[in-house]
């Protein structure tokens, strides 16, 4: 039975995990260390944690599980510092985006019988404890990469803990994890950063490209707003796998350029159709670095009071709006008013209500 859990680092993900555990397992005592004392004070005030600790506080060393939620470099150093202080029953786990580097250090320190690697496939472009929320973990895959000598009962207990906070545990090897995430997580961030840099370089002095960048461009580059430092570290930590998937991506881009240069319409159509079908087969869940957005678009007249009228209609039905505003393009010949909601249920209620009021409502897939 789990009685206490510790956290080294209480930022976005550490805070979100702590909040989720507190919500679903209120009897478990939570302790935390973070160099940001304001985050610890906020967590204590919100009753997310039971105690504020120093780096090597015995309350942390005697926990059933100790989550390492700091940057990878700090976690690697902390392993060696914590090793002689850990109680026999304390299991270490981390949440790093790259697993190979920490597993190698675990092996060097002979901690394989007390380490369970972890990576919640969730997050946000925001950072810090103030941005944390237990909902980040809901229906998100939580990849687990156990050390080679971890007791089966402790692995089962940890998996049950992850499942209890709404995440979906998935046990694989660290090597499998790093190759998979290089393709589905790390490469997309590189592409987003590169695409933004490309448009910046191609744009004219008047900034027309930036000015008219449509919703599609903003959607696929939104993750370029993530932490540059974090992604610099991830690229260097997962170098070999990223280099491999970049080779394949560059090869595909060259192939597409050849199709275009040769006006090979059949090959282009086949590639686009296969990509669409595969993309449509991917389950969309409200998790990950960029959450599924709940957005409607309305075709409304460009006149005073139009937005206020919509807002009033929704407010009278107690439908909460996350964001509302004019968009300055008609990329798919749909309305110029964009309304974003906190939840899918609210979006569906608004769609029915507004169509009943004879508004033309669209939704981007």
pLDDT band at 195 (very low <50, low <70, confident <90, very high): very high
- Report, as an integer, the average pLDDT of 46-54: 95
pLDDT one-digit tens code per residue, 344-363: 888 999 999 998 888 888 76
Distance CA 13, CA 68 (A): 10
Quick: pLDDT tens for 199-251.
999 999 988 888 888 667 877 888 888 888 888 989 999 999 999 999 999 99
Residue 331's pLDDT is what? 44
pLDDT at 329: 47
- The per-residue pLDDT for 261 is 97
- Determine the pLDDT at residue 311: 85
The per-residue pLDDT for range 110-167, each reduced to its tens digit, is: 999 999 999 999 877 677 899 899 888 988 899 999 988 999 999 999 999 999 999 9
Q: Classify domain 294-362 by CATH architecture.
A: 2-Layer Sandwich (3.30)
pLDDT recorded at residue 126: 73
Would you list the DSSP string of 252-320? HHHHHHHHHHTT-HHHHHHHHHHHHHHHHTSPP-S-SSSPPPEEEEEE--SSTTHHHHHHHHHHHTT--
Q: Which of 127, 85, 61, 75 is nearest to 106 (CA)?
A: 75
Report, as an integer, the average pLDDT of 301-319: 81
339's CB contacts (< 8 A; 6+ apart) are: 295, 296, 297, 298, 310, 314, 321, 323, 324, 350
Per-chain mean pLDDT for the chain: 88
Residue 301: is its pLDDT beyond 80?
Answer: no
pLDDT at 125: 66
**Order of strands, sheet of 321-326, starting from the edge strand that comes earlier in the sequence:** 321-326, 337-341, 294-299, 360-362
Q: Which two tokens stand for residue 363?
A: 């939704």
Kindly state the tokens that stand for 181: 């995430």
Share of the chain above pLDDT 90, in %: 62
Looking at residue 19, what is its pLDDT? 96
Q: What stretch(es) of the chain map to CATH 3.40.50.720? A: 4-177
The pLDDT score that the predictor gives to residue 238 is 93
Other beta carbons within 10 angstroms of residue 92's beta carbon come to 25
Look at residue 295 and tell me whether its pLDDT is greater than 80: yes
Which pairing describes strands 141-146 and 115-120: parallel, antiparallel, or unpaired? antiparallel
How many CB atoms lie under 10 A from the CB of residue 307? 16
> Which residue intervals of the chain bear CATH 1.10.3660.10?
178-280
Which pLDDT belongs to residue 304? Answer: 66
pLDDT of residue 57: 93
**Predicted local distance difference test score (pLDDT) of residue 290:** 42
Determine the Cα–Cα distance for residues 292 and 301; give it in Å rounded to an integer: 28
Q: How far apart are CA 299 and CA 294, in angstroms?
A: 17
Query: What is the predicted pLDDT for the residue at 283?
Result: 59
Contacts of 132 (CB under 8 A, 6+ apart): 11, 12, 13, 14, 15, 16, 18, 19
Long-range own/partner contacts, residues 96-99 (CB < 8 A, 24 or more apart): 96/68, 96/72, 97/181, 97/185, 97/186, 97/230, 97/234, 97/237, 97/238, 98/72, 98/178, 98/181, 98/234, 98/237, 98/238, 99/145, 99/174, 99/177, 99/178
- Domain 4-177, CATH: 3.40.50.720
* Per-residue pLDDT, 332: 40
**Domain 178-280 fold:** 6-phosphogluconate dehydrogenase C-terminal fold (1.10.3660)
**Secondary structure (H, E, C), 95-139:** CCCCCHHHHHHHHHCCCHHHEEEEEECCCCCCCCHHHCCHHHHCC
Cα gap 153→171, rounded to integer Å:
14
DSSP 83: G
Alpha carbons 280 and 282: distance in angstroms, whole number: 5
Residue range(s) occupied by CATH 3.30.70 in the chain: 294-362
Pairing mode of beta strands 337-341, 321-326: antiparallel
pLDDT digits (tens, 9 = 90+) for 63-103: 999 999 998 889 999 999 999 999 999 999 999 999 999 99
Mean pLDDT of 104-115: 95
Asked whether the predicted pLDDT for residue 39 surpasses 70, the reply is yes
Q: Decide: 41 and 67 in contact? Cβ < 8 Å.
A: no
Q: What is the mean pLDDT of residues 255-282?
A: 93
The predicted structure's pLDDT at residue 364:
58
Per-residue pLDDT at 122: 84
Write down the residue that tokens 């939840």 correspond to.
Answer: 343
For residue 188, give the H/E element and its range. Answer: helix 187-202
Check if the beta carbon of residue 287 is closer than 8 Å to that of residue 140.
yes
Which of the four pLDDT bands, split at 50, 70 and 90, describes residue 11? Answer: very high
């Amino acid at each position: 039975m789990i009685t206490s859990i510790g956290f080294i680092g209480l930022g976005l993900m550490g805070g979100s995990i702590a909040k989720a555990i507190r919500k679903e397992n209120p009897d478990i005592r939570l302790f935390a260390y973070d160099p940001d004392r304001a985050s610890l004070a906020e967590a204590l005030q919100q009753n997310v944690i039971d105690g504020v600790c120093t780096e090597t506080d015995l309350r942390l060393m005697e926990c059933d599980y100790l989550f390492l939620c700091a940057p990878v470099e700090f976690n690697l150093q902390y392993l060696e510092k914590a090793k002689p202080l850990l109680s026999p029953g304390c299991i270490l786990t981390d949440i790093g985006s790259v697993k190979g580097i920490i597993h190698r250090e675990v092996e060097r320190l002979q901690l394989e019988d007390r380490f369970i690697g972890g990576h919640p496939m969730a997050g946000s472009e925001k950072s810090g404890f103030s941005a944390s929320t237990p909902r980040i973990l809901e229906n998100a895959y939580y990849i687990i990469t156990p050390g080679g000598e971890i007791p089966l009962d402790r692995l089962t207990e940890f998996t049950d803990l992850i499942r209890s906070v709404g995440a979906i545990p998935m046990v694989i090897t660290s090597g499998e994890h790093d190759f998979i995430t290089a393709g589905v997580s790390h490469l997309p961030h590189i592409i987003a950063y590169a695409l933004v840099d490309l448009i910046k370089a191609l744009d004219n002095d008047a900034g027309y490209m930036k000015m008219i960048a449509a919703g599609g461009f903003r959607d696929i580059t939104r993750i370029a707003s993530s932490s540059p430092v974090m992604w610099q570290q991830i690229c260097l930590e997962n170098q070999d796998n990223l280099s491999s998937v970049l080779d394949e991506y560059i090869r595909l881009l060259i192939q597409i350029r050849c199709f275009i240069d040769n006006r090979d319409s059949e090959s282009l159509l086949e590639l686009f159709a296969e990509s669409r079908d595969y993309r449509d087969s991917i389950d969309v869940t409200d998790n990950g670095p960029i959450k599924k957005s709940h957005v409607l678009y309305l075709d409304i007249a460009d006149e005073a009071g139009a937005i206020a009228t919509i807002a009033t209609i929704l407010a009278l039905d107690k439908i909460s709006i996350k964001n509302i505003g004019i968009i300055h393009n008609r990329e798919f010949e749909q309305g110029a008013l964009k309304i974003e909601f906190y939840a899918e249920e609210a979006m569906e209620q608004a769609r029915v209500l507004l169509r009943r009021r004879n508004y033309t409502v669209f939704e981007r897939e």
